[in-house]
Chains A and B, each alone.
Chain A
Amino acid sequence: MILKVFRYDPGSGEQRYDRFPLMHRPGMTVLEALFLVASEQDDSLAFRYSCRGAVCGTCAVLVNHVPRLACRTRLEPLLRGEDLLALAPHPGLELGEAYSPDEEVLVEPLPNMPLIKDLVVDQEGFFSKYRMISPVFRPSGELPGKEQLMYPSAVRELETYTNCILCASCYAACPVNAADDEYIGPAALAKLYRFAIDPREGDHGSRFARADTPHGWWACRFFTNCAKVCPKGVTPNVAIGKARGVLEGRGKDSRDKEHSPATDSHVPRE
């Protein structure tokens, strides 16, 4: 097979595609293939990595035009034409380089972020939006000397969003993001929603209000690329829809008493 890789030389500004022929082992992932290239063919190839187990969010790249974690994406299903994702048009698709699907796997950097070198992009914009939503937990009232109680049902709902690993796959796949620099984006909005529904927090209104702007909750057009590419099953689109509902007075604010013994009484200090 051929690993077709986007190359960017920050010195000269040159952009090109290199084709690296590889003997692939069964089960080999895109990340392993990149390491094989770096160790045997070209040690100048730049790509990020850390856990190699799909939990740290470091290695997201475009694979065959779709944002994916390189460590979790296997070559064989791609070459067999399986493992396809139908996404709404986004920059990764639109500007995408051609490749022959039965012998090539195409690897490119995530779009919507400035290039640094080869597959490495500058994620500062992505994290500046994370900071913009003020992701700091603000419990209501005095902190007791024990845990604030919280029912498993509330945990289940929160986990849908706390599972986000901030890999920026959604940020790269979002067509709104591509068109609107100021859009807070799916990952940061999902994070904001996680705080807005935490039954241990006091001021849910200000959490929802924080993104009650044209570039916040209201910018999403529900293409749902975010949920489709998420490697952890997070659904920013659902969070955004629910947040809009709360702001429009439709939906239930999740600070619902039935979920939250903590809002009524704290466990006394020992």
Chain B
Amino acid sequence: MTEFLHRHDVLIIGAGLGGLRACLEVAGKGLDCGVISKVHPLRSHSVAAQGGVNAALGNAPGGENDNWEAHAFDTVKGSDYLCDQDAVEILCRNAPSAVYEMEHFGTVFSRDENGKIAQRPFGGAGFPRTCYAADRTGHNLLHTLYERLQEHEVTFYEEYFVTSLVIGKDRCSGCTALRIMDGTVHGFSSGSTLIATGGFGRIYSRSTNALINTGETEYHAFRAGVALRDMEFVQFHPTSLHGTNILISEAARGEGGYLLNSEGDRFMRAYAPDAMELAPRDVVARAMTREIEDGRGIGDGYLHLDLRHLGKSLIRERLPGIRLICMDFAGIDPVREPVPVQPAQHYSMGGIAVDTRGSTSLPGLYAAGECSCISVHGANRLGGNSLLETLVFGKLVADTIIDDNPGTLPRDDRVVHEAVSREETRMNAILSGDKGEDVHRIQSDLQETMFHHFGIFRNEHSMKQGLELIGILEERFSRASISYRGRIYNQALVRVLELEGMIILARVLAQSALARTESRGSHTRTDHPGRDDRNFLVHSEARMKEGSIEIGYTPVRLTSYPPKERSY
């Protein structure tokens, strides 16, 4: 029998904002909850979120008439009408209470002179709606939730890397995980399992994401028969720091920053004359790429984000984190010099298909946050809506789990034991394999392939080439090997396991993108430049069928916002 079997009513994989918000709710109800994370919870990528969280509080001057319906409209329009409008209504209706709740839990939001939570303008928003804690909003929210959990009985499994979901009798019975510290394989048996592991941005070479964002749990859900929805929609953030691609928050433009090309021109006037720099991210990222491709880029292909006119005191007060990032990583002070920026992969609108309660098609398995697709972001997410999604749907999925009464759900320890033995065998095989292909080289080739063939502008010819390259990478991966054979803190082993999922996610993304012969939101086809509502006002859903990937479609749910032409 398995040496390491852990039993919990509720198992949460991922300890960022979505996972911890759910955990707080579940633990608050007295359910036995275990949280598994490949890093310490405070190292989760949520910590890096900068600009803020949207809620129609109406605190800022000019925001008095804001309401949740206006927030919903902006979100729907921003999504290029691909989101499910009932889910968006849940998101926006619950936004104010989600923000107030975090304030009550202790988050130190920035304040206006009256002591209210301050709000700033953000891209694609009709009102200044983004609540923030300077430009460290994710950090402040994540620390608050983790602090709050200190008074609850929760078991944290830190630095455990999930290697598979366990499926028994047509339901999810838990998972297996590698304890990185000593290389042992552990089994987790649970009534309910929530995946809240964030995105998979690291399949791209230019990404703002943490290095840990490799998407393996989405791959495990996919392998278990759950659909991956809308995977072709990848957000490229307009302003990542040139070179390292570290995020420079949209707040920099929200506070009034300009984007300039090599001629010193605020080129956004040609692309979004009303919204200018505060058009949604897909619009700005495309405009920037066009400028660079048309020869108005600077250096080897970047543009300038100019904050100098904002003045030192505003930059120090509201953008201290990005100032530090510019100084640490580019050696420049945005108070005195423009910031060199370029678009980079930032967010995945697609993910594990869930219903509006956060349930997947597999009983016992739930998902929330970036790893899921519920779908509130459709074809393009608005800045400030992802932190909101983690808070609102983290709580909502916890309510669903509580309703499903996980303490009484069938457990299947036997199938967990079997899975552990299977995974043990697999680990041993990797650790004793013959010398073969270098893992790092395969990974960097994959990242370049995705950037060049499935980036901001796409076309059939290039994507088909990209798919061929992915096929070669799959073949090379079958011969991948590592040199270090030890069990203790074997990060080479972790990287092989990560890469396995990254390649499959890349293929799903590629096939979904090739099949969508229209341009919508972040998915821009130069060979199909128009939006095609007649054929493609639908979500793509990729499923594994007999070893190959099938792409199907489900309708978008509309409520109050009929599709219109989208201009800014």
Contact = CB atoms under 8 A, between A and B. Distances in A.
Contacts of A47: 491
Given A46-B491, A50-B212, A262 B247 contact: no
B108 interface: yes
B103 interface: yes
Interface in A205-261: 232, 261
A162 B140 CA distance: 7
Interface in A128-165: 131, 134-137, 139, 143, 145-152, 155, 158-159, 162-163, 165
Interface string B7-44: 00000000000000000000000000000000110111
A151 B111 contact: yes
Given A131-B150, A145-B100, A148-B103, A50 B211 contact: yes
A10 B488 CA distance: 8
B116 A135 contact: no
Contacts, number: 154
Contacts of B438: 39
B355 to A, nearest CB: 29
Interface residues of A, number: 56
Interface in B422-472: 438-440
Given A27-B243, A52-B246, A53-B325, A58 B103 contact: no
B134 A159 contact: yes
Interface in B87-143: 99-100, 103-106, 108-117, 133-134, 136, 139-140, 143
B103 A136 contact: no
B294 interface: no
A116 to B, nearest CB: 6
Contacts of B244: 52-53
A198 interface: yes
Interface string A109-122: 00000001110100
A61 to B, nearest CB: 14
B109 A54 contact: no
A43 B39 contact: no
A56 B44 CA distance: 7
Interface stretch (B76-84, B218-226, B343-351, B478-486): B478-486
Q: Which of A54, A131, A195 has the most CB of B within 10 A?
A: A54
Given A51-B45, A72-B329, A137-B147, A152 B484 contact: no
Given A11-B486, A53-B48, A150-B115, A137 B144 contact: yes
A172 interface: no
Nearest to B444: A39
Nearest to A25: B243
Given A11-B488, A50-B210, A261-B115, A163 B181 contact: no
A166 interface: yes
A143 B104 contact: yes
A189 to B, nearest CB: 15
B492 interface: yes
A148 B246 contact: no
B293 interface: no
Q: Which of A72, A116, A123, A146 has the most CB of B within 10 A?
A: A146
B302 to A, nearest CB: 14
Contacts of A137: 105-106, 144, 147-148
Interface string A188-211: 000000010010100000000000
B321 interface: yes
Contact of A43 (B47, B104, B181, B483): B483
Interface in B319-341: 321, 324-325, 328-329, 331
Contacts of A175: none
Nearest to B159: A48
A57 interface: yes
A25 B508 CA distance: 35
Given A43-B482, A159-B108, A166-B42, A55 B488 contact: no
Contact of B43 (A56, A139, A261): A56
B45 A152 contact: no
Contacts of B247: 53
Contacts of A117: 488-489
B213 to A, nearest CB: 9
A43 B100 contact: no
B489 A52 contact: no
A179 interface: no
A44 B484 contact: yes
A51 B47 contact: yes
B45 A50 contact: yes
A44 B109 contact: no
B216 to A, nearest CB: 15
A51 B324 CA distance: 15
A136 B28 CA distance: 14
Contacts of B113: 151-152
Nearest to B59: A147
A20 interface: no
Contacts of B150: 131, 134-136
Contacts of B100: 145-147
B151 interface: yes
Contact of B111 (A11, A52, A57, A155): A155
A259 to B, nearest CB: 10
A41 B247 CA distance: 30
Contact of B148 (A58, A131, A136, A150): A136
B40 A51 contact: no
A149 B100 CA distance: 11
A38 interface: yes
Contact of A147 (B43, B103, B133): B103
A155 B108 contact: yes
Contact of B210 (A52, A136, A147, A152): A52
A250 B212 CA distance: 47
A147 B211 contact: no
A43 B210 contact: no
A39 B211 CA distance: 14
Contacts of B99: 147
A152 B112 contact: yes
A49 interface: yes
A198 B109 CA distance: 12
A142 B139 CA distance: 26
Contact of A53 (B111, B147, B246): B246
A57 B43 contact: yes
Contacts of A159: 108, 133-134
Given A50-B210, A139-B104, A56 B42 contact: yes
B177 to A, nearest CB: 18
Contacts of B148: 136-137
Contacts of B43: 50-51, 56-58
Nearest to A260: B115
Nearest to B325: A53
Contacts of A148: 103-104
Contacts of B136: 55, 163
A38 B483 CA distance: 10
Interface in B486-524: 486, 488-492
Pick the 6 closest A-B CB pairs, nearest first: A137-B106, A149-B115, A44-B484, A39-B440, A43-B492, A117-B489
Given A11-B486, A43-B439, 4 more contacts: A10-B489, A136-B106, A155-B110, A163-B139
11 contacts: A11-B488, A53-B246, A53-B325, A58-B40, A136-B151, A137-B106, A137-B144, A151-B113, A162-B108, A195-B106, A262-B115
